[in-house]
């Protein structure tokens, strides 16, 4: 652990158990903030910025919920009374972006000396990052990692007792704390964490080192959270985990992911279930069957490929081959003909040859991905791949990325085109005043834009898909369904 060096002074009779302990700190800060608001005759604002994945976004909702409980009001501006950056470290450009934004916050703080700046998330789990921040950004107030986001109120209290930055970064998680406040971005859809951490140790990936080993939430807590969200108007939940297919392996008694998703689907009022992210090596026949027969589960499977080369997949420690991946795709399509399959692909993994890259293009064509998240390999210090020979040049990576995007676009357009002319149910997610159009998401996760009113937001409506634009559709509202 890395701790601040101050002597911690806590109130008398502070609860030891969680989350009661954190609510005690929230109540203390709430009273202090209310006093300040009265003295200064103004509201105090917060800005929570998320870098990275949907797991980070869900964590940010909890951080915003804690601050909202204390009394802070959300603002889109970073010129706020408290700013929280929830960071990502999966790729180097994410770190670079955060450093640039921290510098901007430093300039803001010079004209706003009472401002509090909080850094948390995956990037803060790396010791060299902490050292750089301590040396180059001394105006930061609180730093913590991925394992103790529930402690935000306690850490802010400690900062108020000190003149120094409070640093509390833990190497491992010792608990899962339930029932914290949460401030959702949307009222009609929400993410629900089902597990934390990862045991796979893919050689290119920093996640197991910064997120820790797999820890599954109690299924009762997951179902209870889903019930609460649904009662508050949520129509669709996304079950989140670094590898959702591993859910339940550390529970007693054990429970498979297919069993969990079946239980979640029994929640009254819930209309759609998505999940992210499964690992191909763990995707079971039981789960495929549950997706096929359960009307609440979206017929969309995100299946990260990373590379189509069996040689590279072995170096990546992915535990499947090109052949077995394509066999899995065939099995899914045979049981779920309407399924949309999406993927992740890395270009330029150390040692990648033209033949390896052609294998990837071959899988893209044969798997018929509806879309793909594509990345150029980013060397992450501390991972085995960072020490491998054969680092691929930027020029080669850029050229291959262009060819990959062209191939993905061609394949995806053909896949999407088969829906043209059909009438599908969409969840209305956004409205644009300038165009008078609503954006809705289909079961297959693609978007459709159609004329509509703002009152449709959060509603499930029928839309005819009039024209395919590759990765989205133009449509019109229909009453056919």
Domains defined for the chain, CATH in brackets:
2-169 (3.40.50.12160), 184-298 (3.30.750.210), 326-416 (3.30.750.200), 423-478 (2.40.50.140)
Q: pTM for this one?
A: 0.91
Distance of CA 77 to the CA centre of its chain: 22
Separation CA 87–CA 68 (nearest Å): 20
6: Cβ contacts below 8 Å, ≥ 6 apart: 158, 161, 162, 164, 166
Strands 45-50, 73-74: pairing is parallel
Separation CA 300–CA 370 (nearest Å): 9
Q: Which residues of 197-227 are buried (b: 16+ CB within 10 A; e: fewer)?
A: bbebebbbbbbbbbbbebbbbebeebbebbb
Task: Using alpha carbons only, give the angle 323, 328, 330 rounded to the nearest 5 degrees.
Answer: 95
User: Which tokens hold the place of 83?
Assistant: 């700013």
pLDDT at 6 (0 to 100): 46
Whether 6 and 165 have beta carbons less than 8 Å apart is answered as no
User: Which tokens hold the place of 319?
Assistant: 């535990």
Q: Does residue 416 have a cis bond before it (omega within 30 degrees)?
A: no
pLDDT at 19 (0 to 100): 95
Chunked into runs of 10 residues, the chain (481 residues) has average pLDDT values of: 54 86 96 96 97 90 98 97 94 87 95 94 94 95 96 96 93 88 94 94 93 94 97 97 93 94 98 95 96 97 98 98 98 97 97 98 98 94 92 96 97 94 96 94 95 95 95 89 55
Strands 195-196, 189-193: pairing is unpaired
pLDDT at 262 (0 to 100): 98
Looking up tokens 């108020």 gives 160
pLDDT at 14 (0 to 100): 87
């Amino acid at each position: 652990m890395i701790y601040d060096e101050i002597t911690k002074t806590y109130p008398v009779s502070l609860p030891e158990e969680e989350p009661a302990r954190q609510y005690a700190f929230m109540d203390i800060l709430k009273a202090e903030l209310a006093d300040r608001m009265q003295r200064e005759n103004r509201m105090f604002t917060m800005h929570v910025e998320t870098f990275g994945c949907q797991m980070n976004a869900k964590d940010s909702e909890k951080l915003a919920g804690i601050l909202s409980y204390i009394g802070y009001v959300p603002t889109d501006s970073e010129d706020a009374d408290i700013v929280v950056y929830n960071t990502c470290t999966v790729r180097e450009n994410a770190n670079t972006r955060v450093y640039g934004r921290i510098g901007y916050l430093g300039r803001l703080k010079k004209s706003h000396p009472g401002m509090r700046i909080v850094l948390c998330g995956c990037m803060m789990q790396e010791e060299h990052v902490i050292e750089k921040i301590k040396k180059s950004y001394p105006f930061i107030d609180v730093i913590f990692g991925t394992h103790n986001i529930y402690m935000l109120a306690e850490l802010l209290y400690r900062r108020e007792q000190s003149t120094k930055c409070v640093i509390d970064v833990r190497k491992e998680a010792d608990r899962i704390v339930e029932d914290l406040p949460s401030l959702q971005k949307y009222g009609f859809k929400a993410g629900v964490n089902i597990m934390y951490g990862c045991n796979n140790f893919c050689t290119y990936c920093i996640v197991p080192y910064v997120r820790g080993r797999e820890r599954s939430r109690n299924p009762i807590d997951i179902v209870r959270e889903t019930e609460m969200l649904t009662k508050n108007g949520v129509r669709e939940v996304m079950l989140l985990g670094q590898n959702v297919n591993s859910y339940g392996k550390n529970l007693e008694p054990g429970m498979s992911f297919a069993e969990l998703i079946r239980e979640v689907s029994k929640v009254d009022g819930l209309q759609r279930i998505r999940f992210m992210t499964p690992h191909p090596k763990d995707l079971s026949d039981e789960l495929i069957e549950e997706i096929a027969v359960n009307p609440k589960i979206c017929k969309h499977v995100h299946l990260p490929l990373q590379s189509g080369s069996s040689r590279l997949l072995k170096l990546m420690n992915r535990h499947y081959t090109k052949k077995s991946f394509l066999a899995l795709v065939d099995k899914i399509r045979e049981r779920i003909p309407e399924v949309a399959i999406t993927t992740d692909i890395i270009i330029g993994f150390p040692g990648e040859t033209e033949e390896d890259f052609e294998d990837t293009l071959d899988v893209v064509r044969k798997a018929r991905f509806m879309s793909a998240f594509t990345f150029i390999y980013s060397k992450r210090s501390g991972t085995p791949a960072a020490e491998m020979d054969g680092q691929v040049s930027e020029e080669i990576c850029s050229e291959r990325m262009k060819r990959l995007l062209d191939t993905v676009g061609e394949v995806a357009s053909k896949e999407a085109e088969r829906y043209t002319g059909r009438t599908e149910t969409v969840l209305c997610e956004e409205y644009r005043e300038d165009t008078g159009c609503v954006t809705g998401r289909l079961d297959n996760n693609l978007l459709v834009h159609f004329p509509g009113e703002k009152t449709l937001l959060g509603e499930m409506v029928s839309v005819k898909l009039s024209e395919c634009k590759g990765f989205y559709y133009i449509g019109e509202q229909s009453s056919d369904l």
